[in-house]
Amino acid sequence: AQKVTQAQTEISVVEKEDVTLDCVYETRDTTYYLFWYKQPPSGELVFLIRRNSFDEQNEISGRYSWNFQKSTSSFNFTITASQVVDSAVYFCALSEGEGAGGGNKLTFGTGTQLKVEL
């Protein structure tokens, strides 16, 4: 069965600190996709990144960077020079691929609450 583990329930940092959110996954599929979503206090999930299992290149987008390591089944997310606006719950998710009736079922981790303080 697919599983996503986000062991960090809550992280508090001071603004401008770097912070890494951990994500470890389990799957038997050889082809899969990993995602990160941000959930601000408003509640809506905001898509941040998608990575397929054949692309292990790290990615950087502004202050955000992602480290995908297949050998350790991890897909970690780093925010550099954190800001108060980064305060949110962050979810890592794994694509199960196509279900029996089509569709793409995501398995989510339990999320990490990030609090960035002044």
Partner 1 sequence: SQTIHQWPATLVQPVGSPLSLECTVEGTSNPNLYWYRQAAGRGLQLLFYSVGIGQISSEVPQNLSASRPQDRQFILSSKKLLLSDSGFYLCALGGVASTDTQYFGPGTRLTVL
**Which residues sit opposite 25 in a β-bridge?**
4
66 binds partner 1 (CB under 8 A): no
Q: Which string of DSSP letters, residue by residue, matches 28-74?
A: S-SS-EEEEEEE-TT---EEEEEEETT----EEETTEEEEEEGGGTE
Which of 37, 66, 75, 77 is close enough to bind partner 1 by CB under 8 A?
37
43 binds partner 1 (CB under 8 A): yes
41 binds partner 1 (CB under 8 A): no
Q: Which is nearer to partner 1, 15 or 38 (CB)?
A: 38
Q: Which is nearer to partner 1, 46 or 81 (CB)?
A: 46
Tell me the number of residues near partner 1 by CB under 8 A: 29
